[in-house]
Amino acid sequence: MDKKVNENSKDQQLEQFRADDKDKAMTTNHGLKVSEDEFSLKVGERGPTLLEDFHFREKMTHFDHERIPERVVHARGYGAHGEFEVYESMQSYTKAKFLQTPGTKTPVFVRFSTVAGSRGSGELARDARGFATKFYTEEGNYDLVANNIPVFFIQDGIKFPDLVHAIKPEPHNEIPQAATAHDTFWDFVANNQESAHMVMWTMSDRAIPRSFRMMEGFGVHTFRLVNDQGISHFVKFHWKPVLGVHSVVWDEAQKLNGKNPDFHRQDLYDAIATGNYPEFELGVQIIEEKDEFQFDFDILDPTKLWPEEEVPVKIIGKMTLNRNVDNVFAETEQIAFHPGNVVPGIDFTNDPLLQGRLFSYTDTQLIRLGGPNFHELPINRPVCPFHNNQRDGYGRQTINVGQVSYHNNSLAGNTPTPVSQAEGGYAHYQEKIEGRKIRARSESFKDHFSQATMFWNSMSDPEKLHIVNAFSFELGMCKEKTIREQVVEMLVNVDIDLASQVAKNLGLVVQAGNSSGYSKISPALSQLNTVKKPNTRKIAVLVSEGFDGELVAVLDTLKANGTMVETVSEHQGAIKGADGSLLEADNTFSTADSVLFDAVLVASPQGTTPMYQKEASYFVREAYAHFKPIAAIFSGDQLLDELGYTGQVGVIAKETGASFVESFIDAIANHRFWNRAV
């Protein structure tokens, strides 16, 4: 009796993995309907098969691995679930169903990550950040595999192993972890100067973001949108954070890696857990095919961006991350992204870096997730059904029924069956291509410095100073003087003033060079022009026994304006005010630090122990040195007077009531005060 019950229970568990392919439309493993299963994608009927033929590669690699480790890059990551809602129909540009009807909501999963470090590395390394989004659409999974920087180090996928080998810890001593401040990386940059634009970004504040919630995402590559008339437009994808783009300073980043190496994932997790859901608007830059060659850069070059002032970003929808993962391994670690996971209406271009990635991602998942069935893991499964003739292999979960596992066939009525484009089958855009098979790079890709100069021209003075300091720090850590000299020589081609300042800090002399003289500016590149809001900013309130009872009302007002308030005192637990009111101390000075907060409010430094006064003073001095908003209320202004901060920009003191709160909120929204005397 008991055995029969157990058998029935097991049958019920297995039922969800049983797949009856009979009389079903053929799809890829990701649910994309297949329009052709007899012929691979070629350059002409007698031409070579293309790497971008994702159906051929999926089918072949699955077969290759039917007889049954950490990511190499992006190992340190964190993810969340959410939904994407489209604002307006994109029907005139694409036939992708999830972009057709305003208000349509599509479930998504996003994984943010660093690039260079291992899983155990600190999250505040100076590094690019991954921003990968999986859309679970009714036509199959669509993956927008983005970064927080719109360009990349290299122009051709064949150089990717070289880049990663150079950026990783040096093999003879496995040092340094999660850092580019070493000889092999800068040797690569100096001798592969297509990296010039990217290193300007990675030496900027963009490489040390305040939060995953406060960084942009860029698809990097040029893709195609194709509508139901077969008309194609070139497109670049953007994620714009609703909270704006904000960063920390370098000294702060280094300390955060010690105080809380999980700072970014903690921030994301806490924001979702408290209902402060991160929001990103999806934007597209669109260029008509007829305008492909109308710019002073090649639109297919992945080391180039499309200036927003020349090609405006059209906002078409919003993504909201509203659910934390239940299990980091099962979801965040097992999620498998691939830029080749597309849906009808989204297609590829001949960007040579993109073409290489279309092969690399599937190949990577095969070893990392143990075989060809990674698409069956719950986090990777499409929400629509999938049917094909792929069988067996490590980790197989689907229990296929019937004797047929090939195409064409008669035993199963030739099913699953490829379907026409009109029925939703994917058909590649029929781009006309002529030319010899050749290993070469387009002449239009050879300008490595103009946009690097444009980026420098577009920075504010504080941002320029941060870039100079970043180059000086990174190159100063290199052991070989010749490496420093080569990079400085390269920087002359970007801007002579930049090169001269870095050289001075390194004790080098700038040789005469051919600085480009490029004068173009793109204001959209400066973070000083970003959205500025106080929402979800964390305020450290320094408070002690005997505080003024009116403080409770002030804190309530700050919370009502969207800020997150945490108290810091000599001990945790209840603290009694002068009027008997109570506050709960969230932290002590041993469990909190100014680098963990966006602003500081000094509420009561007087009448406390000498140790408290010493710790409070250090707390405020560090926040001040990091250009953060600082405020004092009631007797707290005495500490600011003693430190000489009263009257400095971004320091709010000797004000009471609503005017004080309003001034402090405005200061918090401003993020940093770079013109402060330090």
The residue from 147, 257, 400, 493 that is catalytic is 147
Distances (CA, A) of 71 to 149, 368, 375: 20, 7, 17
Which position has the higher pLDDT, 516 or 464? 464
With a cut of 90, say whether residue 17 has pLDDT above it.
no
Q: Is residue 520 in some structural domain?
A: yes
Last residue of a domain, one of 315, 349, 383: 349
Which residue type sits at 51?
A: L
Kindly state whether residues 515 and 546 are assigned to the same domain: no
Q: What's the whole-number mean pLDDT along residues 372-393?
A: 93
Predicted local confidence at residue 4, as pLDDT = 43
With a cut of 70, say whether residue 633 has pLDDT above it.
yes
**Residue 74: active-site member:** yes
Report residue 581 CA to chain centroid gap.
44
The residue from 30, 62, 74, 428 that is catalytic is 74
CATH code (residue 224): 2.40.180.10
With a cut of 70, say whether residue 5 has pLDDT above it.
no
Cβ pair 137, 343 in contact under 8 A: yes
Predicted local confidence at residue 515, as pLDDT = 66
Last residue of a domain, one of 304, 324, 349: 349
Q: What's the whole-number mean pLDDT along residues 434-446?
A: 90
Q: Is residue 625 in some structural domain?
A: yes
279-288 and 314-324 beta bridge pairing: antiparallel
402-421 confidence digits (pLDDT tens): 999 999 999 999 999 999 99
- φ/ψ of residue 334, rounded to 5: -90, -5
Whether omega before 339 lies within 30 degrees of 0, making that bond cis, reads no
Minimal CA–CA distance to 206: which of 447, 498, 470?
470
**Residue 147: active-site member:** yes
Predicted local confidence at residue 612, as pLDDT = 73
- Residue 336 to residue 328: CA distance in whole angstroms: 14
With a cut of 70, say whether residue 469 has pLDDT above it.
yes
Minimal CA–CA distance to 455: which of 568, 318, 304?
304
Predicted local confidence at residue 632, as pLDDT = 94
Q: How confident is the model at residue 610 (pLDDT cuts 50, 70, 90)?
A: low
3-state secondary structure (DSSP) of residue 270: helix
Specify whether the backbone of 580 is left (phi greater than 0), alpha (psi in -120 to 50) or beta.
left
Kindly state whether residues 543 and 501 are assigned to the same domain: no
280 DSSP β-pair partners: 241, 319
224-240 confidence digits (pLDDT tens): 999 999 999 999 999 99
| 450: its two tokens | 């103009």
Predicted local confidence at residue 117, as pLDDT = 95
Specify whether the backbone of 524 is left (phi greater than 0), alpha (psi in -120 to 50) or beta.
alpha
Predicted local confidence at residue 528, as pLDDT = 95
Predicted local confidence at residue 224, as pLDDT = 98
Predicted local confidence at residue 518, as pLDDT = 86
Show the DSSP H helices in 520-566 as ranges: 551-560
Predicted local confidence at residue 354, as pLDDT = 94
Distances (CA, A) of 621 to 247, 351, 539, 614, 629: 20, 49, 15, 11, 12
Q: Is residue 523 in some structural domain?
A: yes
129-137 and 346-347 beta bridge pairing: unpaired
CATH code (residue 563): 3.40.50.880
DSSP state, residue 169: P
| Entry pTM | 0.91
Most confident of 24-28, 150-154, 632-636: 150-154
Q: Is residue 384 in some structural domain?
A: no
Predicted local confidence at residue 51, as pLDDT = 84
Cβ pair 353, 154 in contact under 8 A: yes
84 DSSP β-pair partners: 106, 319
Proportion of the chain in helix, strand, coil states, percent, rounded to 5: 35, 20, 50
- φ/ψ of residue 425, rounded to 5: -70, 140
216-228 confidence digits (pLDDT tens): 999 999 999 999 9
In sequence order, the 6+-apart residues with CB closer than 8 A to the CB of 427 are 35, 36, 344, 421
Q: Is residue 447 in some structural domain?
A: no
Q: What's the whole-number mean pLDDT along residues 639-654?
A: 91
To the nearest whole number, what is the mean pLDDT of the chain? 92
Predicted local confidence at residue 2, as pLDDT = 43
Minimal CA–CA distance to 206: which of 385, 455, 415, 511?
455
Kindly state whether residues 176 and 90 are assigned to the same domain: yes
Q: Is residue 252 in some structural domain?
A: yes
What is the percent of the chain with per-residue pLDDT over 70, rounded to a whole number? 95
582-585 and 538-542 beta bridge pairing: unpaired
Q: How confident is the model at residue 39 (pLDDT cuts 50, 70, 90)?
A: confident
| 195: its two tokens | 């990296």
Which residue type sits at 139?
A: E
Strand ranges, E, within 498-585: 538-542, 564-569, 573-576, 582-585
3-state secondary structure (DSSP) of residue 470: helix
Domain containing residue 519: 455-528
Cβ pair 478, 181 in contact under 8 A: yes
Last residue of a domain, one of 484, 506, 528: 528
Predicted local confidence at residue 8, as pLDDT = 55
Kindly state whether residues 321 and 342 are assigned to the same domain: yes
Cβ pair 196, 153 in contact under 8 A: no
With a cut of 60, say whether residue 672 has pLDDT above it.
yes
Predicted local confidence at residue 7, as pLDDT = 42
Which position has the higher pLDDT, 354 or 656? 354
Q: What is the DSSP string of 203-250?
A: TSGGGSBS-GGG--EE--S-EEEE-TT--EEEEEEEEEETT---B--H
CATH code (residue 477): 1.20.1370.20
Number of CB atoms found within 10 A of residue 119's CB: 10
With a cut of 60, say whether residue 1 has pLDDT above it.
no
The count of structural domains within the chain is 3
With a cut of 90, say whether residue 45 has pLDDT above it.
no
489-530 confidence digits (pLDDT tens): 999 999 999 999 999 999 999 977 666 678 999 999 999 999
**Choice among 13-22, 30-39, 143-152 with the minimum mean pLDDT:** 13-22
* Distance between first and last Cα of the chain: 80
Predicted local confidence at residue 325, as pLDDT = 96
Cβ pair 251, 625 in contact under 8 A: yes
302-324 confidence digits (pLDDT tens): 999 999 999 999 999 999 999 99
Kindly state whether residues 230 and 292 are assigned to the same domain: yes
Class of residue 44 by CB neighbours under 10 A (exposed 0-12, middle 13-18, buried 19+): exposed
Kindly state whether residues 517 and 537 are assigned to the same domain: no
Cβ pair 114, 261 in contact under 8 A: no
Kindly state whether residues 639 and 652 are assigned to the same domain: yes
Kindly state whether residues 236 and 319 are assigned to the same domain: yes
Distances (CA, A) of 318 to 81, 134, 270, 328: 14, 14, 21, 25
3-state secondary structure (DSSP) of residue 193: helix
Predicted local confidence at residue 14, as pLDDT = 57
Q: Is residue 364 in some structural domain?
A: no
Kindly state whether residues 496 and 590 are assigned to the same domain: no
With a cut of 70, say whether residue 3 has pLDDT above it.
no
- Residue 360 to residue 164: CA distance in whole angstroms: 13
Of all helices (H) and strands (E), which one includes residue 265? helix 263-273
Kindly state whether residues 487 and 628 are assigned to the same domain: no
Sheet order of strands, 538-542 included: 587-588, 564-569, 538-542, 599-602, 630-632, 651-652
With a cut of 70, say whether residue 67 has pLDDT above it.
no
Q: Is residue 488 in some structural domain?
A: yes
Q: What's the whole-number mean pLDDT along residues 638-645?
A: 91
Whether omega before 629 lies within 30 degrees of 0, making that bond cis, reads no
Kindly state whether residues 492 and 633 are assigned to the same domain: no
Query: How many residues belong to the chain?
Result: 678
Kindly state whether residues 226 and 325 are assigned to the same domain: yes
